[in-house]
A and B are shown apart, each in its own frame.
Chain A
């Protein structure tokens, strides 16, 4: 039982964390919560199955293509759904525009790909009896993806000039622009990175979650929980929140089961937000008056 809770919990939690990071990367660049994060996760699985299973591409090429598609979709999201509403951000129109775009993509996926869950290929041919095969790749792939992503982002943000430019935009876009930083291009790049991370989450988690258009709403929601738990914009918070959510969800699944597992997750979510509205890792926002 414990083994199952840990393996499934960490794997699902890593997918949630990656979707949470996807939200965060888009939020940092634009102050917009783009509800296309779940869509990217869903497409990671669906496009992977399409490229590898249906088109017969090899796994590595399929993987790269999926990430390219993710980046392109990130750019399209920024141009079509975020940029036009940025001027009136206080009206929160981005909720409508990003959600509408995500739903449109989901419907097209359902029509073109089908409404049934479809199998996702085994990505790495590992002998089940070898040391590498002890833990199923469907469990460690998302965890590995999560580790690589968080390490990559830390490196980008802390060690590179362009990463610091991202942070500057996130901190104060007006000041950053005044210093001559190309805000629009940096925002576009952030959305492309978010697209890559979102599809990476879906691709590495698809052996477990299958290639299914309906995963969008689940990932949209469960991916948002770690953001709220961990503090908006905090990637470390999202990872901790995501893994905790996965483990708790799986434990609840064992202990109470059925729909009550979901109720337990929501209950804890609400309690945490009541106690710490700024999130577990977030700092209370200071408002200039």
Chain B
């Protein structure tokens, strides 16, 4: 008997495999989760790659909080299982990890991504899969209750960060003539375009503003123009340590003691390494957070008690920043408390978060409403003295009422 062989058509193959998939799915349907099974939290830190320093700091706090919760008996008898996927500072890897965490691992909630670049790529996908998401990224567009109703932020926005710096210059230092500069990156130009109108609305006179090529090795012309325009403070918006250090070095070489107020990179180790003299870091104030700054040599009580706990758990934080570690702890603690209160169902978690009010974190006090998923209060964004780093924390900048 001969069998006529007909070539398989593409459509037949596809329908066949679809049928197979249905059979498999129904055959191996997941059993109802027993109450002792761990609750899964999908976690997307960048632990390697160029943006990993933040992720490594946050990770220490997150791991500590999860260990504390699990050692204390877990969530109503169920352990938390942190499913970690290192995004390697790469948005593509973050996107792939989201699919794995939400669709295959069935995580109840996602913590991260911890960097804005990856969060911009991952957030729409997490929203599509309808999984509650908590993140600490600053880019304003990442929170939108209409587009991403299940996404919540446990950190300030870029607007709040700029507002904090503007408040310090205009209301605390009482300086009215300000020079605002940035590099030519998207972040730099967007920051200047957002913060300059805010400064003007506060009554400051923006005497000089410009976007400067960060690769320009000589910034003396820029600073001379700022000086002749009568600037009393320089506000550079850039995450480029080379650019920022050139501003500080040029200011030092000119012998101009104008304060420099801006973003956290001003106080980073990379910027410090590029300074011609350590004195060039004097009168430089960068963004920080009230709960994690020394006031008269002491940390606020919540943070001080937390530092003791870190020391007891032998968690290293002198080589990173206290606020990163505290932020990691806050995120995991917030998720732990939520799961304990309402369980792992997505809509219950979102409903619970929509009502969080004045939650006392180590890093910040969180308040969310159904219309506002940015949880960080303006008044906790402060400036710090960049040359005062000790045990991962800075002195609050001079002039704030304690």
- B215, B222, B241: most-surrounded residue (chain A CB, <10 A): B215
Category for how many chain B residues contact A: 20 to 34
CA–CA, A118 and B271, complex, Å: 9
Beyond A118-B273, A250-B218, whether A258 also contacts B241 by CB under 8 A is: no
CB pair A257–B221 under 8 Å, yes or no, is yes
Q: Which residues of B contact A258 (CB under 8 A)?
A: 210-213, 222
A155 within 8 A of B: no
Are the C-beta atoms of B211 and A259 separated by less than 8 Å? yes
Chain A, residues 246-280, CB within 8 Å of chain B (1/0): the string is 00001001100111011000000000000000000
**Are B218 and A257 in contact (CB-based, < 8 A)?**
no
User: Does A182 have its Cβ within 8 Å of any Cβ on chain B?
Assistant: no
Taking the closest CB of chain A, its distance from the CB of B322, in whole angstroms, is 21
Q: In the bound complex, do residue B242 and residue A253 qualify as a contact, i.e. CB atoms below 8 Å apart?
A: no
Contact bitstring B258-299, A, C-beta under 8 A = 1, else 0? 000000000000100110000000000000000000000000
Instruction: Determine the chain B residues whose CB is within 8 A of the CB of A218 once the complex forms.
Output: 215
Which residues of the partner chain B approach A64 to less than 8 Å between Cβ atoms? none
Are A259's CB and B212's CB within 8 A? yes
B49 and A212 within 8 A (CB): no
**Which listed residue (A110, A116, A215, A257) contacts B241, Cβ 8 A?**
A116
- Is chain A's binding surface mostly helix, strand, loop or mixed? helix
A1-21 contact mask (Cβ, 8 Å, vs B): 1 or 0: 100100010001000000000
A115 at the interface (CB under 8 A from B): yes
Which of A4, A111, A117, A259 contacts B274 (CB under 8 A)? A117
Q: Do B242 and A116 touch (CB < 8 A)? A: yes
Q: Are A118 and B274 in contact (CB under 8 A)?
A: yes
Is A152 in the interface zone, CB < 8 Å from B? no
Judge whether B220 is part of the interface by a CB distance below 8 angstroms.
Answer: yes
- Which A residue's beta carbon lies closest to that of B243? A117
A210 contacts the other chain (CB 8 A): yes
Chain A residues whose C-beta falls within 8 Å of the C-beta of B221 in the assembled complex = 4, 253-254, 257
Q: How far is the CB of B227 from chain A (nearest CB, A)?
A: 13
Chain A interface residue count, Cβ-Cβ cutoff 8 angstroms: 27
The reply to whether A259 and B273 form a contact with Cβ atoms under 8 Å apart is no
CA distance A57 to B273 in the complex (A): 19
Number of A-B contacts (CB under 8 A): 58
Which of A1, A12, A116 has most chain B Cβ within 10 Å?
A116
Cross-chain contact B184 with A259 (CB below 8 angstroms): yes
* Contact A119 B273, beta carbon cutoff 8 Å: yes
The yes or no answer to B225 lying at the interface (CB within 8 A) is yes
Binary per-residue interface labels of chain B (319-334) against chain A in the complex, 1 for a CB within 8 Å, 0 otherwise: 0000000000000000
Known interface pairs A110-B50, A210-B242; A253-B218 also in contact (CB < 8 Å): yes
For A253, list chain B residues within 8 Å (CB): 216, 218, 221
Q: Beyond A111-B50, A115-B50, A210-B242, is A259–B213 a contact (Cβ under 8 Å)?
A: yes
A176 proximal to B (CB < 8 A): no
Contact A119 B50 (CB under 8 A): no
Contact B222 A119 (CB under 8 A): no
Q: Does A214 contact B (CB under 8 A)?
A: yes
**Could you tell me the distance in whole angstroms from the C-beta of A118 to the nearest C-beta in chain B?**
7
Q: Which residues of A contact B274 (CB under 8 A)?
A: 117-119, 210
CB pair B210–A208 under 8 Å, yes or no, is no
Q: Is B388 an interface residue (CB 8 A)?
A: no
Within 8 A of A (CB), among B196-228: 210-213, 215-218, 220-222, 224-225
Residues of B within 8 A of A259 (CB): 184, 210-213
Instruction: Report A-chain residues with C-beta under 8 Å of the C-beta of B224.
Output: 1
A245 shortest CB reach to chain B, Å? 14
- B217 and chain A: residue at smallest CB distance: A208
Give A115 to B49 CA distance when docked, in angstroms: 9
Judge if B240 is at the interface, Cβ distance under 8 Å.
yes
A284 to B80, CA, bound (A): 74
Docked pose: A214 CA to B242 CA in angstroms: 11
B279 nearest CB across to chain A (Å): 16
B27 to chain A, nearest CB (A): 44
The interface residues of chain A lying within 8 Å CB-to-CB of B225 are 257
Q: Is A209 an interface residue (CB 8 A)?
A: yes
Residues of A within 8 A of B213 (CB): 258-259, 261-262
From residue B321, how far is it (CB to closest CB) to chain A in Å?
16
Cross-chain contact B218 with A214 (CB below 8 angstroms): no
User: Nearest chain-B residue to A207 (Cβ)?
Assistant: B217
Tell me which residues across on chain A come within 8 A of B215, comparing CB atoms.
209, 214-215, 218
Shortest distance from the beta carbon of B233 to any chain A beta carbon, whole Å: 19
> Judging by beta carbons under 8 Å apart, are A114 and B50 in contact?
yes
Cβ A117 vs Cβ B240 within 8 A = yes
B218:A118 contact, CB within 8 angstroms? no
A126 to chain B, nearest CB (A): 15
- Contact A118 to B212, CB < 8 A, known contacts A8-B217, A12-B217, A212-B242: no
Cα-based distance from A253 to B224 in the complex (angstroms): 11
Interface flags for A191-231 (1: CB within 8 Å of B; 0: not) read 00000000000000000111010110010000000000000
Residues 224-238 of B at the A interface (beta carbon under 8 Å): 224-225
B382 to chain A, nearest CB (A): 25
Which residues of chain A are near B270, meaning CB under 8 Å? 116-118
B245 surroundings in chain A (CB, below 8 A) = 117
Q: How far is the CA of A151 from the CA of B49 in the complex (A)?
A: 43
- Shortest C-beta distance, A142 to chain B (Å), equals 11
Q: Nearest Cβ distance between residue B109 and chain A, in whole angstroms?
A: 31
Question: Could you list some 5 contacts between A and B, CB below 8 A?
Answer: A12-B217, A119-B274, A208-B217, A253-B221, A259-B211
Given contacts A114-B50, A117-B241, A261-B213, 14 further A-B contacts (CB under 8 A): A4-B220, A4-B221, A111-B49, A116-B241, A118-B273, A208-B217, A210-B242, A210-B274, A215-B215, A257-B212, A257-B221, A258-B212, A259-B210, A261-B216
| Across the A-B interface, the 4 shortest Cβ-Cβ residue pairs | A117-B242, A258-B210, A115-B50, A116-B270
